Structures are given as structure tokens and as C-alpha cells.
Amino acid sequence: MNQPVPVFRDEAKTAALQCPGCGAPIQRTGFGAIVKVVCSHCGSELSPTESDTLRLLLHVQRQQRPSVLPLHIRGTLAGAQWEVIGIVWREVTADGKVYPWQEFLLYNPYLGYRYLLHFLYDRHWALGTPLDGAPIIHVAQRPSARWRQHHFRHFQRALARTIYVEGEFPWQVRVGDVVTADDYVAPPLGLSVEQSVDESGTDLQFTMMQHLDGAEVYRAFALAATAPRPTMIGPLQPNRWTAGAALTWVSCAVLLLVWLVATIGYSASRDDREVYRGTATTPDPISDELDLGEVGSVQTIAVELTATPLSNAWAYADVLLVPLSGSEEAVGVGLEVDEWHGVSDGESWHEGTSHASVAVGAVPGGRYAIQVAPQSGTSTPGAPAQTLEYTVVVRRDVVLDRYIMLPLAVILGVPLLLTLAGLAFEGARWRNSDYAPQA
């Protein structure tokens, strides 16, 4: 029976090579691709390429820094098993504040290298993959980049400085290295362009980044602790408010169609009939009778008041509907109309209306007595009240606007609120960029 082929080499059974600087054992993982090894104990920089033994290049005494993931830990990310073979701490400084992060060099003998980034200042994670080509960079007032079908917007430019190194790497890396880093974002993806200059010329590195959830990383490497929650919105963090936005608006369109059909049906089913109209002059009251349909039915009525001529005056009417059946469930409403005009700073103005309406639902059908008590007044204190002609109209089985507008507000309000929340989320994201809105 064939034995399964292991993804990684078995743990060495023989004694490991020793660091000439401190005597600690040195582990090798990347084999021939490695051009730099940094001792995880004393920080000595070593070269594994000269003959068959290690030669001390530079001995640097420093204290080892504990990282979130230890060297040589293994985990499964993106469907593959990886081993942490190198750790780099880097930082940028902006507005006098330092923003550090940890980079873990992941290695798989079949897939090569990946970069796992943990941003200490906001607790976000990202997985980087080296590109097999160069993206298209559009240089403008606000640069952008394109890689295949992805379009990225420039987020920030900064000088990234290496402050700690541990493990082994397939490139030259040392404490104090500085590169110019341009970050482009298209959440949850990002594009990192790093430019370094040395005696051999200019070197460009292109990396595709993808946002990772901290809990996913902790599960991948079987860490016993719980991943800390992010403290702010990250550059690559997905906008949860815009997730499924297309489906939300399609659902909104469907619901609007249903609402339109239901509104037409509801309006067509209402009789909306005038059952009473009475006219008098203030301050004379009205006392009369009206019919609100068959006994046992339930009506939605509208009571309307119109007063003329209004000129810098107001009118008010108490309308009381008392059932003649002897029931004590009377219906009372108050309506007020007013009209005001004048000239201010050489410009004329006008406000108010001579018509008012109040809708009342669930009014039992039957015969009612209607009693109207009017009042009126002017803007001049102590002036005699104007004599106004007022008209009271009662309509039954009317359309209630709230039955139409409330569903419409809900249908449009949900996607609108999601859109506003998404815009607020993006505003918080870009406040941390080179393109933060000016206060």
C-alpha cells in the first residue's frame, strides 16, 4: 500500500546547524531559494549560499520580539498548508504617529511564497500574493491601477521602514530598510506597489492583497486565543452595508411594482362619496344630520374646512359627530385654517391656507348629528373678529394616505438607509487615506 506523500519535509532527526553568533540551532525551510537567513535567537544575518556551511555576515545583538504567529508554525489558508518561515516588522509614520504591522512569510514547497500581514494599529489581517506581472498604473491627480479585471483606487503613499527581522527570506532584508509603498484598494482586494532603490538600481515589487478575518487566521493556525476585534475600519475591510446592494435594489423594484398594483386596487375599491356639505358665517354654528352608510359597517371619513375670505386672519372649527342610535362613541375633530401676508425687506411674502382636512378611520356606519362650533380672529390683538364664510364637508369611504405612503416609505427607506450607512462606512475608510475630506 502506497504511503501518502507529505506536503512538507519531515522534522529533521539530526542535530541542526548552529548559529556562529550565539550557538543556537538554525532551521532551514526554503532550501536553495534562500539568500538570507536571520537567526531567530540573536538576530545574526547569515548567508546559506557560500559553500556548504553558514558564514556569519553581520552580527546584530537585539532582543527577540514576540509576534502573533511564532516562527515555523503551520496552518491552512486558501485551501493550502503553509509554514511561517520568516517574520518582518515594519512601520510607517504619518502626522507624527507610528503605524506598525507584522509580515509573516508563508512557504509551501508547491505554491511558493505568500505574505500574511497583521496590522497592529487596527488589528486587521490581509493575505498577499506576489503578482506574475506588472499592473497598469494610471498617474493622475488621483492615481489608479488595474490588474486584469480589477480596478483599484490609490489609497496612500508612505515610507515603510523595517524595524525587526526573524527567520529566512528569498531576498535581501535587514533592519533599517526603507521602501516607498503605494497602496491601492478595491475592497476586499488591494494592490501594493513597493519601490526600493540601492546601488544596483530600482526594484519594484507588486503584491495582490486580500482582506482576511482575524478569526479565520486564528482557526487556520489553531491558536488557542480569540482574535481581537478590529478597532477601526481597515483599507481592505469589506463594506457590509453595500454587500448585496444589487439584490436589494432589485427587490425594491419588485416591491414598488407590488405597491403600485396594491395602491391602484385599494384606491379603486374606495367609494369616496360626499355625504354632507354645510355653509355658515362665523360665529354662527351648524347643527344638522348626515348618513354615514349602513349600520354595522365601518367607514373611513374625511372632515374638511374651508374659510373665506382670509386675510391676515385665522378660523377654527370644532366638528362633533354624535350617533343618533344612542351610542356614546361620538367622533370629534378640530380644524384650523389661516392666511398671512406682508412685506419684509422690500419683498412680499405669503403663507397659510384656507383649506384643511382631517381623516378618521374605523367610524361605525349609521345616522349622525353634526355640530360645528366656529371661531375666528386676526393678527391684531384686540381687533374685532372678521366675519368669514366657512364650509364643512364630510366624505365617507375615503382613501387614507397613510395606507399608501407608509408602505412606500418602508420600501424605499430600507435601501436608502443601507446606502447612507454604506456611504458613512466609506467615509470612515477614506478618512485614513491621503484623500481624507478636508474639515
Domain ranges of the chain: 17-220, 273-398
Let me know: does 93 contact 78? Beta carbons within 8 Å.
Answer: no
Which pTM was predicted?
Answer: 0.68
Q: Which amino acid is at 436?
A: A
Whole-angstrom CA distances from 10 to 6, 14, 29, 225 are 8, 11, 11, 28
The distance from CA 42 to its chain's CA centroid, rounded to whole angstroms, is 45
Confidence of residue 386 (pLDDT cuts 50, 70, 90): confident
Compute the distance between CA of residue 89 and CA of residue 70 in angstroms, rounded to an integer: 13
Let me know: does 392 contact 277? Beta carbons within 8 Å.
Answer: yes
Compute the distance between CA of residue 323 and CA of residue 367 in angstroms, rounded to an integer: 6
The 10s digit of each residue's pLDDT in 131-183 is 999 999 998 888 999 999 999 999 999 999 999 999 999 888 889 999 999 99
Compute the distance between CA of residue 52 and CA of residue 33 in angstroms, rounded to an integer: 15
Q: Which of 52-66, 166-180, 353-367 has the lowest mean pLDDT?
A: 52-66
Compute the distance between CA of residue 333 and CA of residue 178 in angstroms, rounded to an integer: 78
Q: Cell numbers at residue 255, please?
A: 416591491
Tell the residue number behind the cell numbers 515589487, with chain if given. Answer: 205
Number of H helices, E strands in the chain: 3, 25
Output DSSP code: residue 230: P
* Buried/exposed 172-205: b ≥16 CB within 10 Å, e otherwise: ebebebebebbbbbbbbbbbbbeebeeeeeeeee
Cis peptide before 170 (omega within 30 of 0): no
- Helix 401-430 crosses helix 245-268 at what angle (to 10 degrees)? 170
Q: Please give the sequence-ordered ranges of beta strands (E in DSSP) within 48-200, or none if there are none.
A: 55-58, 74-77, 80-94, 97-108, 112-119, 124-130, 136-138, 144-147, 150-169, 178-186, 189-198
Backbone torsions φ then ψ of 11, nearest 5 degrees: -60, 135
The 10s digit of each residue's pLDDT in 298-344 is 889 999 999 998 888 999 999 999 999 877 789 999 999 999 988 88
Whole-angstrom CA distances from 358 to 19, 73, 368, 400, 436 are 91, 73, 18, 10, 50
| Mean pLDDT, rounded, of the chain | 86
Compute the distance between CA of residue 339 and CA of residue 374 in angstroms, rounded to an integer: 16
If DSSP codes are grouped into helix, strand and coil, which group holds residue 74?
strand
Per-residue model confidence (pLDDT) at position 287? 95
Reply yes or no on whether the pLDDT at 28 is more than 70.
no
Confidence of residue 436 (pLDDT cuts 50, 70, 90): confident
If DSSP codes are grouped into helix, strand and coil, which group holds residue 62?
coil
Compute the distance between CA of residue 25 and CA of residue 16 in angstroms, rounded to an integer: 5
Nearest-5° Cα angle at 155, 152 to 185: 35
Per-residue model confidence (pLDDT) at position 50? 43
Reply yes or no on whether the pLDDT at 1 is more than 60.
no
Per-residue model confidence (pLDDT) at position 49? 52
Spatial CA neighbour of 356 closest among 395, 320, 322, 392: 392
CB atoms within 10 A of CB 286: 18
Per-residue model confidence (pLDDT) at position 384? 67
Helix (H) or strand (E) holding 205, with range, is: strand 201-212
Greatest C-alpha distance within the chain: 117
Percent of the chain with pLDDT over 70: 86
Reply yes or no on whether the pLDDT at 14 is more than 80.
no
Per-residue model confidence (pLDDT) at position 12? 38
Regarding the domain delimited by 273-398, which CATH topology (the fold level of the hierarchy) does it fall under? Jelly Rolls (2.60.120)
Let me know: does 143 contact 154? Beta carbons within 8 Å.
Answer: yes
Contacts of 423 (CB under 8 A, 6+ apart): none
Compute the distance between CA of residue 436 and CA of residue 439 in angstroms, rounded to an integer: 9
Rg from Cα positions in the chain: 39
Q: Which amino acid is at 154?
A: H
Per-residue model confidence (pLDDT) at position 20? 67
Mean per-residue pLDDT, 265-280? 92
